[in-house]
Amino acid sequence: MDDLAAFSQVYFQADKMNIATLSNVVAQLHIHIIARRHDDFAYPDPVWGKPAFAAYEEKEKQTIIRAIRENYHNRNKNPC
Q: Is the peptide bond before 79 cis (omega within 30 degrees of 0)?
A: no
pLDDT average, residue stretch 62-80: 84
In the predicted model, is pLDDT for residue 78 greater than 70? no
pLDDT average, residue stretch 53-80: 86
Give me the domains of the chain, ranges plus CATH numbers: 2-77 (3.30.428.10)
E strand intervals along 11-69: 16-22, 30-36
pLDDT average, residue stretch 57-76: 92
